[in-house]
């Protein structure tokens, strides 16, 4: 749960609503890179722990 709160804080700190200099497409590309990195990192952790758990 603390990771979720940490990620929520990160998104809030980005100040997306204040980025009027970027188009919606540019904001989406910027956020997509970060979110994909999170998914790759945490996706591997979840798969690995599920694999370890099922092997027991």
Helix (H) or strand (E) holding 11: helix 2-14
pLDDT digits (tens, 9 = 90+) for 12-33: 887 888 888 989 999 899 889 8
For position 23, what pLDDT does the model report?
92
Share of the chain above pLDDT 90, in %: 7
CB atoms within 10 A of CB 50: 10
């Amino acid at each position: 749960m603390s990771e979720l709160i940490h990620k929520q804080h990160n998104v809030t700190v980005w100040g997306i609503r204040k980025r009027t200099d970027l188009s919606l497409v540019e904001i989406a590309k910027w956020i997509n890179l970060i979110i994909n990195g999170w998914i790759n990192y945490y996706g591997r952790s979840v798969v690995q722990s599920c694999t370890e758990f099922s092997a027991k």
